[in-house]
Structure formats: C-alpha cells, structure tokens
C-alpha cells in the first residue's frame, strides 16, 4: 500500500479536524504540523503525535519528505502567499477557502499548479455533506427532471459571525455564501452563470465588527435556471458554531427539500437549556464516528494524492465561485445586476473596494 506524508499549516478549528483525520489514516505515514499558537500546538501534538511540529510554517514548505500540504491558517490573507510557496515547492495543495483575495492571485496559483502538474483543491466541505451529495445525485440521475430553480438559506451564530468578520473584511458572500455558491454551481454543471444581483443589510453586527448581518444573492444561469442564496451570521447561540441550512431544489418532474437545520437531535440540560449538537458546518467527532463533512473531505484528499485521483473541487472551480461572490459584492455597491464574466472595468472596481 502506498503511504503518503502530509504537512498541515494552521491547526485551529478546521486544521485540527484535518490533522486528526490524517493521524487516524492508514494511508498517512508521516504527519508534520506547523502552528503559531504554542498552546494550540501542544494540544494538537498530544492528539495526533505528529512526526514533527513547529511554530514556523517554512519547516513544512522546505520538508522534502512531504507529498502534500494542507493549509488551514487564518487570517485569509495568509492563503495566497502560503499556497504559492507550497505549490512552488512542488507539493499537492489542499487550501481552505477562499482560494485568494483577487482573481489575479487565483490565476497565478492555478498557473503554477498547471506548470508543475500538481493537484490543487479548495475546501468546499459541503460537497461531502451526504444530503447535498443526494441533491447532486438526484440531478445526475434526472429523478426530479431538469432543474428550474434552487434556494439555499444558511444562517450561522453571531459568535461565529464575529470570529469571521472580526479577522477579515471579506463579505458574507465571500466567507459564507461561498459554500452554497459552490454547491449550486456544482449541481448546475455544465450550465454557466451569466448575471448576479445581490443585496446586503446591516443589523446587530455593525456595532461590533462593522459587518452586515445578511446578504442575499440571485444568480441567473445561461439555461435560465435561477439560483437564490441567502447567508446570515447573526443568529443567537444554539450550539457553538451552529449552522442552519434550508434547501429547495425544484425540477421539471419533482422537488427536493433538504432540511439541514439540525433540529433532529435536541439536547436539553438544566445548565445550558436547549442545544442542537453536531450542527456546525465542518462537523465534530462523536466517539468512533465523525458527524459532518470535513472528515470525509480530508479522507478524499488523502486518497486523491495517494492513488492519483482527481480532486473534488479544483482551484479552477473555486475561481468560478470567486467571480460570483465578487460580482455579488459589486452588485451590492452599485445597487444593480452585474453581468458575467466581469469586465476589466468591473474588476478594477472590485479591486479598489
Ligand atoms: N470548510 C468549512 O466548513 C470551513 C469552516 C470554517 C472555516 N473554514 C475556513 O478554514 C480556514 C481556517 O478556519 P478556522 O476556523 O479553522 O480558523 P482558526 O482561526 O480556528 O485556525 C487557524 C489557525 O491557523 C494558525 N496560524 C495562523 N497563521 C499561521 C502560520 N503562519 N503558520 C502556522 N499556523 C498559523 C492560527 O494560530 C490558528 O490556530 C479559514 O480560512 C476559513 O475560511 C472552512
């Protein structure tokens, strides 16, 4: 059996899940970790017993033994420079979203990937949510006919909204709706987006992080299908990092409704009142199983590298998602629909924002 060596840069929430998955995989021989938070590094060392651990990510980049590098660092400004170094070092790269901050950076990373014949995947974990995979299957097998319209409404807790919007000024479209934009574009393949309209609204978050509370996006596809994506990050607590999603997928011969609001397991205690466990987007370990998509996504990546299989969501596909959320932000600013592909003028306006 071919085993691979994996390096992980940033082992906070997501990187911690990925490190534990790698440590448990028989396909992974050596695990090497870099984490700048020394307390967190100690925790992850005790959980995963890595071959090496460092506070300097360059130790991962320069490690010749590695087949792949997983980049799970924050803030999001770290993604492009670290991914560039990892690709230039000749490693297959798995990068958490967002791929980059600008389309030029994304193009540069994709060019380095292609020139070096590397795999380069972006973490759009919802493709590994079994309910979302069922939606894709329904369309592939045409059990609900041809798609007509899709609605995805997702809301996160305010504490998670504060964590995200406190570290980056990227919009709700770029940081949250991005998952569902990737999901619906995946569903609609090979149709392409042609027009985007979006509105955002201020509410409770403005005083703490200056961000909007919610953003809604309508996308028209070249086959006429309408996609509506809503993202909010101002919900009261129901569980740490609780995420609630409702999906309606309408076809010519049927309809699929997905309830991913996590109200199926209700945990009620005198101490904390009602909690909805296993309800974050990546998921969490539950004894010997993992409740959520991030474990399976990481296993898929390990297998893609070990067996030379295609990555699930390539950087090129993630760039398509970037174009839509950038168009959505431009639409908010201009208060009008934006046509795709973005023109040079529109792009310079996005870059200046
Ligand atoms: N796929 C999903 O469902 C999902 C969910 C949440 C977040 N994300 C994405 O994953 C990324 C990570 O999010 P998170 O919530 O795990 O963040 P986090 O802040 O919990 O973890 C990031 C870690 O990176 C470390 N770090 C920062 N700079 C570093 C460096 N130079 N070298 C080594 N370590 C460094 C930090 O100390 C921290 O522990 C984000 O960019 C976010 O967009 C994806």
- What is the per-residue pLDDT across 146-160, written as a single tens digit (0 to 9) for each? 999 999 999 999 999
- Is the CB of 214 inside a 6 Å radius of any atom of ligand 1? no
Coil, strand or helix at 221: strand
- Is the CB of 220 inside a 6 Å radius of any atom of ligand 1? no
Phi and psi, residue 173, nearest 5°: -65, -45
Torsion of CA 81, 46, 50, 7, to 10 degrees: -20
Length reported for the chain: 353
DSSP summary character for residue 203 = S
Among 11, 12, 38, 296, the mutation site with the greatest number of ligand 1 atoms within 8 A of its Cβ is 12
**Ligand 1, atom 44, residue with closest C-alpha:** 96
User: What pTM does this model have?
Assistant: 0.97
Report how far residue 61's alpha carbon sits from residue 33's, in angstroms, rounded to the nearest whole number. Answer: 11
- Is the CB of 281 inside a 6 Å radius of any atom of ligand 1? yes
Report how far residue 267's alpha carbon sits from residue 178's, in angstroms, rounded to the nearest whole number. Answer: 30
143: in domain: yes
343: in domain: no
What confidence tens digit (pLDDT) does each residue in 64-73 have? 999 999 999 9
Q: Other C-beta atoms within 10 Å of 10: how many?
A: 26
Q: Which domain holds residue 12?
A: 4-118+307-311
- Is the CB of 297 inside a 6 Å radius of any atom of ligand 1? no
Torsion of CA 95, 101, 107, 109, to 10 degrees: -40
Partnered with residue 257 across adjacent β-strands are 248
Q: Which atom of ligand 1 is nearest to the CA of 124?
A: 1
- The DSSP H or E segment spanning 249 is strand 243-251
pLDDT confidence band for 2 (50 / 70 / 90)? confident
Torsion of CA 201, 206, 210, 215, to 10 degrees: -20
- Is the CB of 293 inside a 6 Å radius of any atom of ligand 1? no
156: in domain: yes
107 with 167, same domain: the answer is: no
What confidence tens digit (pLDDT) does each residue in 88-128 have? 999 999 999 999 999 999 999 999 999 999 999 999 999 99
111 with 146, same domain: the answer is: no
- What CATH number does the domain containing 159 carry? 3.30.360.10
CA of 340 to the centre of ligand 1 (A): 31
CA of 100 to the centre of ligand 1 (A): 14
| DSSP line for 120-137 | EEEE-GGGGSHHHHHHHH
34 with 137, same domain: the answer is: no
290: in domain: no
75 with 110, same domain: the answer is: yes
CA of 73 to the centre of ligand 1 (A): 4
Report how far residue 315's alpha carbon sits from residue 122's, in angstroms, rounded to the nearest whole number. Answer: 6
CA of 331 to the centre of ligand 1 (A): 29
pLDDT confidence band for 238 (50 / 70 / 90)? confident
Report how far residue 36's alpha carbon sits from residue 53's, in angstroms, rounded to the nearest whole number. Answer: 10
The dihedral of CA 200, 257, 186, 84: what is its sign?
positive
208 with 260, same domain: the answer is: yes
Please calculate the CA angle 252-319-304 and round it to the nearest 5 degrees: 85
292: in domain: no
Coil, strand or helix at 139: helix
- Is the CB of 129 inside a 6 Å radius of any atom of ligand 1? no
176 with 260, same domain: the answer is: yes
Cα atoms in the 13 Å half-sphere on the side-chain side of 194: 9
Partnered with residue 290 across adjacent β-strands are 285
213: in domain: yes
**Ligand 1, atom 10, residue with closest C-alpha:** 96
- What CATH number does the domain containing 61 carry? 3.40.50.720
Better-predicted residue by pLDDT, 320 or 347: 320
- Is the CB of 166 inside a 6 Å radius of any atom of ligand 1? no
Residue 21 has pLDDT above 60, yes or no: yes
Residues 211-231 have a mean pLDDT of 98
- Would you state the structure tokens that stand for residue 124, as one six-digit string? 């759009």
113 with 130, same domain: the answer is: no
Domain count, the chain: 2
Report how far residue 234's alpha carbon sits from residue 213's, in angstroms, rounded to the nearest whole number. Answer: 6
144 with 99, same domain: the answer is: no
- In sequence order, the 6+-apart residues with CB closer than 8 A to the CB of 236 are 157, 158
Residue 223 has pLDDT above 80, yes or no: yes
pLDDT at position 345 is 58
pLDDT confidence band for 353 (50 / 70 / 90)? low
196: in domain: yes
Q: Percent of the chain, pLDDT > 70?
A: 97
- In sequence order, the 6+-apart residues with CB closer than 8 A to the CB of 46 are none
97: in domain: yes
131 with 41, same domain: the answer is: no
41 with 139, same domain: the answer is: no
Coil, strand or helix at 238: coil
How far the first Cα of the chain sits from its last, in Å, is 50
- Is the CB of 167 inside a 6 Å radius of any atom of ligand 1? no
130 with 100, same domain: the answer is: no
**Ligand 1, atom 3, residue with closest C-alpha:** 282
Residue 351 has pLDDT above 80, yes or no: no
pLDDT at position 92 is 98
User: Mean pLDDT of all residues in the chain?
Assistant: 96
- In sequence order, the 6+-apart residues with CB closer than 8 A to the CB of 334 are none
Coil, strand or helix at 226: strand
Residue 348 has pLDDT above 80, yes or no: no
- Is the CB of 239 inside a 6 Å radius of any atom of ligand 1? no
Report how far residue 187's alpha carbon sits from residue 204's, in angstroms, rounded to the nearest whole number. Answer: 33
Residue 352 has pLDDT above 60, yes or no: no
pLDDT confidence band for 237 (50 / 70 / 90)? confident
172 with 276, same domain: the answer is: yes
Report how far residue 48's alpha carbon sits from residue 40's, in angstroms, rounded to the nearest whole number. Answer: 12
């Amino acid at each position: 059996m071919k085993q691979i060596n994996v390096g992980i840069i940033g082992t906070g929430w997501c990187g911690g899940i990925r490190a534990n998955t790698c440590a448990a995989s028989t396909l992974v021989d050596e695990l090497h970790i870099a984490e700048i938070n020394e307390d967190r590094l100690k925790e992850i060392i005790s959980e995963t017993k890595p071959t090496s651990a460092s506070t300097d990510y360059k130790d991962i980049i320069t490690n010749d033994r590695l087949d792949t590098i997983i980049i799970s660092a924050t803030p999001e400004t770290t993604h492009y420079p670290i991914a560039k170094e990892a690709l230039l070092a000749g490693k297959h790269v798995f990068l958490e979203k967002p791929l980059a901050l600008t389309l030029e950076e994304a193009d540069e990373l994709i060019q380095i990937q292609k020139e070096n014949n590397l795999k380069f995947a972006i973490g759009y974990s919802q493709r590994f949510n079994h309910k979302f995979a069922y939606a894709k299957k329904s369309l592939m097998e045409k059990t609900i006919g041809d798609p007509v319209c899709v609605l995805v409404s997702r809301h996160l807790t305010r504490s998670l909204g504060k964590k995200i919007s406190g570290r980056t000024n990227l919009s709700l479209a770029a940081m949250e709706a991005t998952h569902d934009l990737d999901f619906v574009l995946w569903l609609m393949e090979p149709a392409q987006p042609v027009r985007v309209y979006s509105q955002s609204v201020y509410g409770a978050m403005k005083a703490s992080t200056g961000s909007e509370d919610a953003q809604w996006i309508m996308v028209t596809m070249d086959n006429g299908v309408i996609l509506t994506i809503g993202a909010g990050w101002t919900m009261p607590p129901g569980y740490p990092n609780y995420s609630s999603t409702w999906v309606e997928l309408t076809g010519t011969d049927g309809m699929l409704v997905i309830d991913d609001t996590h109200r199926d397991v209700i945990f009620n205690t005198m101490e904390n009142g009602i909690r909805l466990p296993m309800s974050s987007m990546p998921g969490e370990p539950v004894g010997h199983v993992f409740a959520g998509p991030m474990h399976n996504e990481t296993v898929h990546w390990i297998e893609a590298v070990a067996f030379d299989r295609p990555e699930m969501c390539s950087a090129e596909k993630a760039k398509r998602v970037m174009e839509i959320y950038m168009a959505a932000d431009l639409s908010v600013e201009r208060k009008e629909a934006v046509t795709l592909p973005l023109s040079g003028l529109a792009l310079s306006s996005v870059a200046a924002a």
